[in-house]
Amino acid sequence: MTADLLNVDQVAQMLSFHTRTIRRLIKEGKLTAVKFGGQWRISRQDLQLMLNRKDVLEESSNIWTHQVEEFLQGKSDPKLARIQVCSVVDCYLSSQAVKELAQKLLDLMNTPDTARIYAKFQYMNFETTGKARFILWGNPSFLTKMLETISKYEEKK
């Protein structure tokens, strides 16, 4: 299996969606996927295309807002990690720059790193306002790596 293909569980974990939501998005044609050995596989490119769809963006925004609210209310699961961090990062970048940055974060999420366990991120690209919002969850050491990736990207621009 190539590193460019993700399974439903990986996509669900990365987006903080239930696996049923990912399968529904596939069934509705909002997320392109192919079956290998009876299991859905999603390319990183198709995942990014889905995340740029306005209807998916609105649905995702509602889910993620609810998850951030639950985190702020102290409803995070202590079984996942003893120390948990949630960070919201707003970036004012071109659509192309947002896609590049999101790909860098996705690549980081796909690296074998023990600090990555339970980490996840989402992003929303509000093209009309030129703003992108990244929501990051995880332990402090991995979130530091994610924030450094964002910071380094900004420095290059």
Whether 110 is in a domain gets the answer yes
pLDDT exceeds 50 at position 27: yes
| Chain segment 75-125, per-residue pLDDT in tens | 766 666 678 888 999 988 887 888 888 888 888 887 777 777 777 788 877
Whether 5 is in a domain gets the answer no
Whether 155 is in a domain gets the answer yes
79 phi and psi angles, rounded to 5 deg: -75, -25
Q: Confidence class of residue 1 from pLDDT cuts 50, 70 and 90? A: very low
Whether 94 is in a domain gets the answer yes
pLDDT exceeds 70 at position 3: no
> How distant is the alpha carbon of residue 113 from its chain centre?
17
Whether 21 is in a domain gets the answer no
pLDDT exceeds 80 at position 16: no
Tokens 């669900």 map to which residue? 12
Whether 142 is in a domain gets the answer yes
pLDDT of 32: 92
Whether 107 is in a domain gets the answer yes
Q: How many domains does the chain have?
A: 1
User: Is the separation of the CB atoms in 126 and 133 below 8 Å?
Assistant: yes
Per the structure, the complete domain to which residue 129 belongs is given by 75-157
Whether 95 is in a domain gets the answer yes
Q: Note the residue count of the chain.
A: 157
